[in-house]
Amino acid sequence: MNHTFNLHAGAGPFPKAAGLLLAALLTCAAAFSQNNYSGLLNKELTPEIGGAQVIGNIIDRLLYGNFSGSVTKVKVLDDAEQTLTVGVSFIGYTEGYIHVLAADGDANTLPSFPAQTIALDKDKKDVTLTLRFDRKAWPENQPFSVPNLVVLVSKNDKATHGVRTLFKLNKQFVVPYSPENVVLPIRMIPIGSAASLPARITGNPGTFKPILPQRNIYNVIKNKQVLLFKVDTAAARVKPATATPVATGPAIRTVARPTPRVINPDVRMVSVLAYPVLTPVSTGGSSAPPPNTNPQGPSDSPLSFWGDFILSDVDFESQNQLTNVSLTIYPDKNPASGVFYYLPIAYDVKYDKERGFAFNMDYGTVRDAGGDNRVRMSGTLSSGISLNEIQFIKALMDAYKAQNPGLKLERPMPLPISETPVITLGDELKNFGISNVNINNTSSITDPVEFSWMTDGTTATELENLLRANSGIIGKMKIKPQGTTLGVQEIPVRIRLIDENTFGRFNMSPTDFRNKNWRNETPFPVRLKYLHCMVIDKNDQGKDGPIIYSWDLGNTQVPATSQVKFNADTVPTWLDNHKGKQARIWLEYSVVDTCSPCNEGVFRGIVQATSRPQLNDVVFRLLPFFEEYKISYLDVEMKSSQGSPSGSAEVSFPALHITKDSADQVLGKLYLASGVEPAFDYRVTVVTKEGNEMKSAWIRHISLSVPFGSFQLKNLFPSFNQ
């Protein structure tokens, strides 16, 4: 079942219930901050001491043999929507296991709540356990109650037989909506000229004069230096000199175009409209053979394919938001061939919604001469130039041919290369001693590029952390063109996982946004910014050119797998195929890079490990107790040999200074190989508001979560029991 919540870009607040749900979803299903959901926090549960319970305990002890002891206290340490954490105190038991189970009103255990089990330690008199339920067993967004809690002490780890104690619980639980079942309605708000578009065109559509945006986005995009290619200034200079005929026959005349503009002293891009247009002129003689149309290879004079005619009400941050093809193209040396060569804007890690990221980190399968594990990091880079992009280029070519009948723009082709490209990556890899990156032989700039390098486990872990932090690994691919004096071309290479360029453009069709729900098929939340619709129509010079109309989507955040239902009433239907020249519809978006659970899910998919140490947070969970015990602050120290990837030496972490409770704090990070449990020591220093300072002994802990409240405080510092 899908659940729809009212959400309108540019509108007022939406219902409180929907807001609370979205707040939960948009934190990527992280732990809920609400830890007193049922009002049980810090309460001691009352044991059921009725006749049936007493008789049952006697029978349990008789059947179970000599197993003496008793549970003295059960206290709620955390009361969340989907979990219950309790501290269980006991006396007499020195071996065996303690289990906690959920039970109904008749004291029958609930199968949807798996038993939570922990082994007894003869040196401990209390344990902490967290009860969880199977989400599939309960309907979404329908709170339910668990009347009782069972504490079972047994000699084995099976929660079937043992000494049983029943406690009154009355705990509320709820299953929140799954993101994939949520549908967010978004109303599209027209921007600028889009707001003036008529709902329908009356009369002859061919005579319709479009409403034009006032901003020429070329003037913004052209200065994005990271996406431009440096060329020789002299070679880029186009002069209106007499052109050299490509064949004998009709006379050729040269039509001068405006002087090209200089972007900066070392980067020049000449508008395609400044390129000399060759127009045949009849001389009245006998017809000559047709000119030679064979391509001769790219010239060394690049042109700006887009010219000065991209009109839009929205400034774009990069060329990638329009197309994956560079704005710089190279005409063939033979103008009669009609061939223009293109380059990709950049190469990014290939992503597929079914297969995920084409990037792998393979730990432990290769060893060096000394027997140490080596890590192979490999992946596939993609230019993103698909058939859809080629069709898009051709649509714009047709527009330019209409403007310039003598200029042939018929055959877009990838720039030919003479040898296998070379990838050089930046300081990120050089600083780690990686200088050699292997890539596959490729015959075309549009082919996927497979790359790999080898490194040691420690370096691989550091690089993994770099990717987790979304810093990425940046470099460039050097391409040597074939059949030309054109110099080596450098294309940016970006190995980033949480990136719009990696996931690609969200292209749409009219059916997609009018009649279907759109689903976020990336593994991260995204913010939807605009819907853009590019059409080819008459510009302010009366010539066909690209015009972009835009609708604001309110920067709406959409969780991974969630859906959107667009209200497209403000988008005229005649734009769907305006004069047969609708070029592209797409969503502009950004990726939310603060979703830690999403990041973990991604890295579980790309890491193949037999001995890989994975970085894990140790979380110190502060329950509310500062005010009750007049605590001013805590200093918490941690030490562990798992603080380094090699695990060869103990690492002492900086003390964590805590001035308030009811919050989670990261105590440090441990490197844990597959199947290895965490193990560390921590020590707590307590300072009261009166200035009394107390320091505990070092405490051994074997879980990544360290709950700390009044229960733990009094166990460490008995003076607080007075």
Question: What are the chain's domains?
Answer: 38-173 (2.60.40), 613-721 (2.60.40)
Range with the largest mean pLDDT of 24-38, 86-100, 235-249: 86-100
Residue labelled with tokens 């009261």: 688
Q: What is the mean pLDDT of the chain?
A: 79
Buried b / exposed e across 478-489, counting CB within 10 Å, b at 16+? ebebeebebeeb
pLDDT reading at 465 higher than 90 = no
Neighbours of 146 (CB within 10 A): 21
Residue 361's nearest CA partner among 345, 343, 349 is 349
User: How large is the angle between the packed helices 457-468 and 596-606, nearest 10 degrees?
Assistant: 140
Three-state SS at 20:
helix
> 147-151, 250-254, 677-681: lowest mean pLDDT where?
250-254
Amino acid occupying residue 308:
D
What letter does residue 617 receive in the DSSP assignment?
Answer: E
> 186-190, 229-233, 316-320: lowest mean pLDDT where?
229-233
Confidence of residue 428 (pLDDT cuts 50, 70, 90): low
Strand intervals (E) in 399-512: 411-414, 422-425, 438-439, 449-456, 473-479, 489-495, 506-508
Higher local confidence (pLDDT), 38 or 270: 38
Amino acid occupying residue 619:
V
Tokens of 81: 């929507």
- Alpha-carbon gap, residue 69 to 674, rounded angstroms: 37
Find out whether 399 and 545 touch, Cβ atoms under 8 Å: yes
- Alpha-carbon gap, residue 691 to 685, rounded angstroms: 12
pLDDT at 444: 86
Find out whether 445 and 414 touch, Cβ atoms under 8 Å: yes
pLDDT at 392: 83
Bridge partner residues of 103 (DSSP):
109, 148
569-622: pLDDT as tens digits: 999 988 887 766 667 899 999 999 888 889 888 988 888 755 566 778 999 999
158-183: pLDDT as tens digits: 888 888 899 999 999 999 888 888 99
Residue labelled with tokens 């000065």: 308
Q: Which H or E element spans position 534?
A: strand 526-538
Find out whether 26 and 557 touch, Cβ atoms under 8 Å: yes
Q: Which H or E element spans position 715?
A: helix 710-716
- Alpha-carbon gap, residue 661 to 658, rounded angstroms: 8
Percent of the chain, pLDDT > 70?
77
Amino acid occupying residue 343:
L
Residue 312's nearest CA partner among 554, 532, 547 is 547
Confidence of residue 1 (pLDDT cuts 50, 70, 90): low
- Alpha-carbon gap, residue 282 to 291, rounded angstroms: 14
pLDDT at 577: 78
Confidence of residue 309 (pLDDT cuts 50, 70, 90): low
Using the Cα atoms of residue 404, residue 407, residue 412 and residue 415 in order, give the sign of their dihedral. negative
Bridge partner residues of 637 (DSSP):
683
Find the mean pLDDT for residues 388-408: 76
Tokens of 622: 């502060």
Residue 633's nearest CA partner among 718, 690, 579, 706 is 690
Confidence of residue 246 (pLDDT cuts 50, 70, 90): very low
Tokens of 205: 């559509």
- Alpha-carbon gap, residue 25 to 239, rounded angstroms: 59
